[in-house]
Amino acid sequence: MSTASTPQLAVATPERVALSLPVAGIGYRCLAWLVDATLLFFFWVVAYFVFTLLVSDVLGVFQGLSGLGQTLLVVGVFATQWLYWTVGEVFFHGQTPGKKALRIRVVRLDGAPVGLFESAVRNLCRAVDFLPGLYATGCISMLMTPQHRRLGDLLAGTVLVRDERIDLDKYTAAAPGEASTSVATGRTLAPEEVELVLAFLTRAPGLQPDARHRMGTKLVEKLGGLTDEEKATVLASPEATESYLRARVRAEH
Amino acid sequence: MAAPLPTFVAQHRADWDALEALLARQREGTLTLQELRTLDSLYRRAASDLAHAQTFYPGTDAHRFLNQLCARAYGAIYQPPRERWAQVRAFFLRDFPRTLRRELRYVGASGALFILGLLLGALVVLWEPRGAELLVPSGVRQYVAQGRMWTDDILSVAPPDTVSSGIATNNLTVTILTFALGLFYGLGTMFVLVNNGVQIGAITALCAREGMAGRLLDFIAAHGPVELSIIVIAGGAGLMVGQALVDPGELPRGQALALRGREAVKLVLGCAPFLACIGVVEGYVSPGDLFPTWAKTALGLGLGGLFWAYLLRAGRAEAEATEAPAVSAS
């Protein structure tokens, strides 16, 4: 729940509202790169076999025809080194397939989508970030900059942000078929308390029974506003505790 | 007094969902004008909800959801104009040559560094022949010692296509590295420029001592002028990047870097098609005896002249028409 330590990208919109987006860290970026690299690798394997099958299955003939093949090869290498990334970022909303899989995207520092120039710069700099091997320079740069940017990002003025999948249903979801007890009593809950209770309710079914009971009890005590006998009925079983908590949050309407 | 969080979410949820649906359709590009207006007003409403959430429900999932939603809508509404073919044309007709003329000082400095390396390498080898052992790659030295051109062999082993594409990637790597190494405060670019200059200078001097200058000229003449120009221009772009890092002026370093980087990369991208063309010349025309030396020299000088005429003249008339003369002076 707590993302306080995640660096944020602050964007000032013309509506005078400040957006703050979570920045993608080095782990997300490495995984996204691995996905992209794997895709490119399989592309090359398939391309190689298709080419050899179509052109010739005899090595000698293949070498004889290799002039065109070699040129294509060089164009292909260039494409995988630069075109793949730039086309992905410019035409698919800042996402190569790997970034899409990891739900991260490239944006400019002002939050706008990247243009051709920014993308070209950051991908041309891959050559330097890769030095002396496996993105060593880029990784050091990512570890040392507050927003986890590699040299190419610094030069292009871009940053990678995360797309979080956030479920709003939990705020309004009804408890699965149950009539609520009297919960009209008690004070209004603070937003943090609502979040805390909802987070507990989401995770409760997967918890160990004793942990589930202990945390439920703590939450009921924290919210307060119950007489002793009411508390006894509420704490009788985990299901009762959770339905009380759900009703308590829902009663905020 | 703020409403409790679940109430707030329940009240506004419908608007947010509608905005999300519209954004998805906007990506596919299937919005009607009416829907576009709705998108705009929904975005403004979501922005004000976000301001509300920032004040009363900071750090909650609802707040983060709104952040993300507004960022997507913001990106959709305030996106930069699409780059299209017209803009590519405008780039090569005006933008690229104009940028080059504006940043001619950096290209000049880059050229000076390169020539410095060239003279250094040549003088060392001419003055002390054993210096060649240090400066010239051993493979090249062996060929020269046997009185042969190393370029003859490339051709006899592999078909011209291979040579051409191999040379093209090599030039590409050198160009990209010359530019991108500027990120190390410009030192990387300086090193590549001087180092390349020294090597070429040393090889030329070595060939001259062994009486092979004519054959080296024969190989270099056709592609040399343009190719070296491109490397010098990429070096200029690298120096711009380095300068932004060393002396960012009144801006923070990151911003200065991004600002100068955009200009610098124009120089590199502009050179790309010319680099590809010259790779073809280097692969097909330069090696072998298909063309006499005078034809190669004429071709090389012609291409170089055309290249620089384009760089220094293109878009000039329009520039003078739109800009004040005092500003256009570089």
Confidence of residue B88 (pLDDT cuts 50, 70, 90): confident
- Name residues 81-110 of chain A within 8 A of B (Cβ): 90, 93, 107, 109
Whether residue B151 is predicted with pLDDT greater than 70 in this model: the reply is no
Q: What is the pLDDT of residues B303-325, one digit of tens each?
A: 999 999 998 887 776 656 655 44
Tokens 């298909």 identify what position? B290
- From chain B, the residues in CB contact with A13 under 8 A are 47, 70, 74, 78
Q: Which residues contact B305 (CB under 8 A, 6 or more apart)?
A: none
Contact: A18, B13; criterion CB under 8 Å: no
Between residues B156 and B9, which one has the greater pLDDT?
B9
Helix (H, G, I), strand (E, B) or coil at A14: coil
Between residues B134 and B237, which one has the greater pLDDT?
B237
Q: For residues A179, A182, A186 and A192, what is the CA-based torsion angle, rounded to 10 degrees?
A: -10
Whether residue A176 is predicted with pLDDT greater than 60 in this model: the reply is no
A189 close to B4: Cβ distance less than 8 angstroms: yes
Whether residue A172 is predicted with pLDDT greater than 90 in this model: the reply is no
Whether residue A178 is predicted with pLDDT greater than 70 in this model: the reply is no
B273 at A interface, C-beta within 8 A: no
Q: Which of B64, B71, B254 sits opposite A111 (nearest CB)?
A: B71
- Name residues 214-253 of chain B within 8 A of A (Cβ): 241
Q: What is the pLDDT of residues B240-281, one digit of tens each?
A: 999 998 888 888 887 888 888 888 888 988 888 888 788 777
What value does the mean pLDDT take over residues A75-104? Answer: 84
Q: What is the pLDDT of residue A81?
A: 74
B66 close to B46: Cβ distance less than 8 angstroms: yes
Residue A132 preceded by cis peptide, ω within 30: yes
DSSP one-letter string for B220-286: HTTTHHHHHHHHHHHHHHHHHHHHHHH--TTS-HHHHHHHHHHHHHHHHHHHHHHHHHHHHHHHHTS
Tokens 């001619």 identify what position? B104
Contact: B166, A74; criterion CB under 8 Å: yes
ipTM of the complex: 0.75
Q: What is the pLDDT of residue A179?
A: 47
Interface probe, candidates A6, A149, A150, A155, chain B, greatest B C-beta count within 10 A:
A155
Whether residue A1 is predicted with pLDDT greater than 60 in this model: the reply is no
Residue B8: what residue type? F
Q: Picking from A65-74, A116-125, B55-64, which range would have the lowest pLDDT averaged per residue?
A: A65-74
Interface probe, candidates B265, B266, B268, B284, chain A, greatest A C-beta count within 10 A:
B265
A165 at B interface, C-beta within 8 A: no
Residue A165 main-chain phi, psi, to 5 deg? -95, 110
Structure tokens at A28: 């997300």
Contact: A252, B4; criterion CB under 8 Å: yes
Q: Which helix (H) or strand (E) holds B129?
A: none
Looking at the complex, report in whole angstroms how far the Cα of residue B13 sits from the nearest Cα belonging to chain A.
8
Contact: A66, B162; criterion CB under 8 Å: yes
Structure tokens at B179: 């530019």
Q: Which residues contact A175 (CB under 8 A, 6 or more apart)?
A: A242, A243, A246, A247, A250
From residue B220, alpha-carbon distances to B70, B200, B282 in Å are 57, 11, 8
Q: Which helix (H) or strand (E) holds A8?
A: strand A8-12
Confidence of residue B166 (pLDDT cuts 50, 70, 90): low
Confidence of residue B113 (pLDDT cuts 50, 70, 90): very high
From residue B287, alpha-carbon distances to A210, B164, B213, B226 in Å are 81, 10, 15, 17
Between residues B3 and B223, which one has the greater pLDDT?
B223
Q: What is the pLDDT of residue A159?
A: 92
Q: Quick one: what percent of chain B has pLDDT higher than 70?
A: 86
Contact: A20, B67; criterion CB under 8 Å: yes
Q: What is the pLDDT of residue A64?
A: 53
Confidence of residue B231 (pLDDT cuts 50, 70, 90): very high
A114 close to A152: Cβ distance less than 8 angstroms: no
Q: What is the pLDDT of residue B8?
A: 84
B258 at A interface, C-beta within 8 A: yes
Q: What is the pLDDT of residue B190?
A: 94
Q: For residues B181 and A126, give the distance between their C-alpha atoms in angstroms, rounded to a whole number.
A: 11
Confidence of residue B328 (pLDDT cuts 50, 70, 90): very low
Tell me A79's DSSP state. Answer: I
B50 at A interface, C-beta within 8 A: yes
Q: What is the pLDDT of residue B329?
A: 39
A223 close to A189: Cβ distance less than 8 angstroms: yes
Q: What is the pLDDT of residue A2?
A: 43
- Determine the number of helices (DSSP H) and then strands (DSSP E) in chain B: 17, 0
B151 close to B287: Cβ distance less than 8 angstroms: yes
Structure tokens at A24: 């993608």
Q: For residues A44 and A51, give the distance between their C-alpha atoms in angstroms, rounded to a whole number.
A: 10
- From chain A, the residues in CB contact with B80 under 8 A are 112-113, 115
Q: What is the pLDDT of residue A31?
A: 95
Q: Which helix (H) or strand (E) holds A168?
A: none
Confidence of residue B152 (pLDDT cuts 50, 70, 90): low
Contact: B60, A195; criterion CB under 8 Å: yes
Contact: A115, B173; criterion CB under 8 Å: no
Between residues A48 and B2, which one has the greater pLDDT?
A48
Rg of chain A on CA atoms, in Å: 27
Residue A198: what residue type? L
- Strand-pair category, A104-108 with A8-12: unpaired
Structure tokens at A67: 């002039």
Interface probe, candidates B12, B41, B163, B183, chain A, greatest A C-beta count within 10 A:
B183
Q: What is the pLDDT of residues A113-168, one digit of tens each?
A: 888 888 888 888 887 888 777 888 899 889 988 889 998 898 888 999 998 888 77
Contact: A112, B80; criterion CB under 8 Å: yes
Structure tokens at A231: 């508390």
Q: For residues B195 and B268, give the distance between their C-alpha atoms in angstroms, rounded to a whole number.
A: 20
Whether residue B119 is predicted with pLDDT greater than 90 in this model: the reply is yes
Confidence of residue B14 (pLDDT cuts 50, 70, 90): confident
Confidence of residue A3 (pLDDT cuts 50, 70, 90): very low
Hey, which of B154-163, B176-185, B282-291 has the most confident mean pLDDT? Answer: B176-185
Whether residue A183 is predicted with pLDDT greater than 70 in this model: the reply is no
Contact: B162, A168; criterion CB under 8 Å: no
Contact: A13, B269; criterion CB under 8 Å: no
